[in-house]
Chains A and B, each alone.
Chain A
Amino acid sequence: MSNALSLLNGFVDQANGATVVGWAWDPGKPNEPVVVELSRNGQPVATVSADRFRQDLLDAGFGNGCHAFEIELPLDSLDAGVPVFSATIQATGFELKRSPFRCGPPRPERDQPRPATTAVERLNAEIASFSRAWTPRLHHENRLAFLAAREGGLTEIQARPQWFMIETTSHCNLKCVICPHGHGAMENASDLDLSRFSRDFDFLASAERMQLFGTGEPLLSGGFWEILESIGPGSGVEVSINSNGTLLNQERIDRLLRSPLSWISISLDAARPETYRRVRGADFDVVISRVRDLIRARNARQAAGVSRVGSASRLEIFINMTLMRENIEEFPEFVDLAADLGADGVQVCQLLWHKGHSAWETKKGEWKFVYRDQLLRNLPDKANDFIQQGLERAATRRVPIVFDGSQFERSRPVVQGEEV
Chain B
Amino acid sequence: MTTVRDCDYPWMGFMIWANGAASCCCYGSSPVGDVSKTPPESVWNNSTMQSLRASLAAGVVHTVCQSGTCKYVVGSRASQQTTRDLAPAPADFDEAWYVRQYFDVCDGLARGVWSSGLDHYRRLGHREFRCRNQREWRRSVQQQRERASRTRAGYSATLSWVQSARVREHTIVMSVCALNSGSIAWQPNGQGPTPIHASAEAYRRLDEVQRTRPMNIYRRDLGAPVEPGQSITLEMQAPVDDFPVGRSFLVVDLVSDPRDVRLTRRGAKPLVLGVHRDEWTDQIDLVTAG
Binding site for B on A (CB under 8 A): 41-42, 82, 84, 97-102, 107-108, 119-120, 122-124, 126-128, 130-131, 134-136, 140-141, 143-171, 188-193, 195-198, 203, 214-216
Contacts and interface: CB of A to CB of B under 8 A. Distances in A.
Given A134-B270, A157-B53, A192-B16, A144 B154 contact: yes
Contacts of A152: 147-148, 150-151, 154, 183-184
Given A124-B287, A141-B265, A189-B18, A148 B274 contact: no
A333 B24 CA distance: 38
B272 A84 contact: no
Contacts of A119: 246-247, 276, 278
B261 interface: yes
Contacts of A191: 18
Interface residues of B, number: 80
A153 B57 contact: yes
26 contacts: A82-B279, A98-B241, A99-B244, A101-B244, A108-B280, A120-B276, A123-B274, A126-B205, A127-B249, A131-B290, A134-B272, A143-B260, A144-B265, A146-B11, A147-B259, A150-B193, A152-B151, A156-B45, A161-B44, A162-B12, A163-B14, A164-B13, A167-B17, A190-B18, A203-B39, A203-B44
Contact of A156 (B8, B12, B50, B287): B50
Interface stretch (B30-38, B102-110, B111-119): B30-38
Interface in B37-57: 37-41, 44-45, 49-51, 53-54, 57
Nearest to B201: A134
Interface string B239-265: 001101111010100001001111111
B44 A140 contact: no
Interface string B169-183: 000000000000011
Contacts of A157: 11, 45, 53
Given A128-B289, A136-B264, A170-B19, A196 B39 contact: yes
Nearest to A82: B279
B165 to A, nearest CB: 12
B194 A102 contact: no
A126 B50 CA distance: 48
A147 B194 contact: yes
